A and B are shown apart, each in its own frame.
Chain A
Amino acid sequence: MTPPAATPAARSHVRPSRTVAPRTARRPSGPGRTPARAPRGAGEKASAHPVLAPPLGLQLVRRVVALPDARLLDRLVRGRLWIGLLAAGLVGVVFLQISLLELNTGISRAVQTEQTLERQNTALKLDLSRLTGGERVLKSAAAMGFVAPAAGQPRFLDAGKSSALRAAANITAPAPIQQLPLGMIPPAEGGTAGVTVAPAEAAPGAAVAASTAPRAAAEPPATAPTQPAAPPAATGGLVAAGQG
């Protein structure tokens, strides 16, 4: 309790003199520390047991044991950064699961796409095979005015190596395609009007489709023309046992 306000009577009381203690360093808060020993003077005798530095392993263990009390760790654990980190981790796990699901779904769709493409591929193969049918091609060609060359007329050339090189050197860009009405065949260069697609060496006797008469050739004659025979020998008739 603070003393009452100084009164004259109190003031007259002789205040005992107080010696002010010498100002010393403030003891820091914390566990009491063993005061540091004053360094030994020259006259002091050494103690009987010298103090050695503890081994490295023990030092390490002590530091680890002291870690929970470390201030830095304390600040880290109590900090707010962890909230963000945990949240990010949880969101990441969810994203991973979703990505996995997406990948699986993608694989399933890829399998379905593969099956669909396989179906389409097969359908196209079937169409291609049907479209290359000989009868169909012949009918279409006949409708366009094409005529098969007579037997014995086409000639075939063997290209030697030099021919192939010369041919490759002479390749030029083709002229633009001229759209003609169906069945009309353009005359060959230097040839007569109404040429067929038969080879240039077509004999005069070969069937030719006139350009003015666009076709409708029926099935082109592919049979071997028979020649009038001399009296057919050894044909027909019946024999008792086989015949030629």
Chain B
Amino acid sequence: MLTSIKNECAIVGIGMTEISKNSGRSELQLAAECVLTAIKDAGLEPKDVDGIAGFTLDHVDEIEVARAVGIPELKFISRMPHGGGQPMGLVQQAVMAISTGVCKTVVGYRAMNGRSGARYSSGVADGAETADKISWGWYTPYGLLTPTGWCAMNTQRYMYEYGATNAGLAEIAVTQRAYANNNPNAIFYGSPITFEDYHNAPYIVEPLRLYDCCIETDGGAAFVVTSAERAKDMPHPPAMIRGAAQGVAFDQEVITSYYRDNITFLPEYDLVAKQCYAQSGLGPDDLDAAIIYDAFTSIVLFQLESFGFCKRGEAHEWVQGGTLGIDGRLPTNTHGGLLSEGYIHGLNGLCEAVRLLRGTSVNQPKKNIENMLVSSGAGMPTSAMIIGKM
């Protein structure tokens, strides 16, 4: 019979480099540093690792990472497509390989000079005839060149249909900046913003303003997954993986899924939510905190609705009044998120989720965090996971 993945595996190690605007070193070095930190954090040696999962768009080959840190052989390697859509897809890969006995311990990583090197905000370029490149050609001649632009289109329609203002977006931006203000590893450590700052900031792509958009940074983040059995003997309390899922929904494009009947929600999030809840046997009421992928403030709204924390069209009101703050119903992105800590394609969020379960976040809520949600990028094939205490 088929197996269930619930509580079969755990995240037992996390590692990050510093987050900066100019790392001054290669992406391979960043990758090697964070991978080694994660392995050590788990109390393991490189020789204990026999699987690696990474991103297709990482410039660093997994075998280069293996050589650099001294992982002698790998029985499992894979790459996940669609960048920010797949950090939790990496976790799923690890769980699949470990729970079937294909390998024992998997490292997932992402390292990027996202600020000093190639920047996503500079827009997509042309090139060879692939399905992907053909697709960009429907947007670039008109000047819709960046993720901000693509995402703003759904945001505008959401605000129109539900009569939403920027108030909900401002709440998210200001709350997360407050978290970052307290996080020494955040780009925006020690620089909070007010609601006034938010509204005075210039538009990037209307209706999205400067502080609706994440920052671009250099840095690396990695994690180690092993079986729950082995996790018991490791130095830190394990973050048990209760569910991990991927999803592509009908008529999916990469951030430009504009041709569906309704573009005010992202059905791929509904799909991963459904699977994560089914795998874990949990529901939104069981979740005590969340790391919600926040390349832009508005996609946090879409996810809160898809994951069932509030009804469709209500998230822009639900978030107001401190819901996502440290004492709120759902402390969210307590590291500052992609908006204010740094942008390492969601793997920095994964590390923060593990810290919240360990009780070691710089913004640790007073309440017990038993179960939490971690999600991935918006508008593209996406992924999510639910993790909890042993």
User: Is B truly associated with A?
Assistant: no
Chain A interface (Cβ < 8 Å from any Cβ of B): none
**Chain B interface residues toward A at CB < 8 A:** none
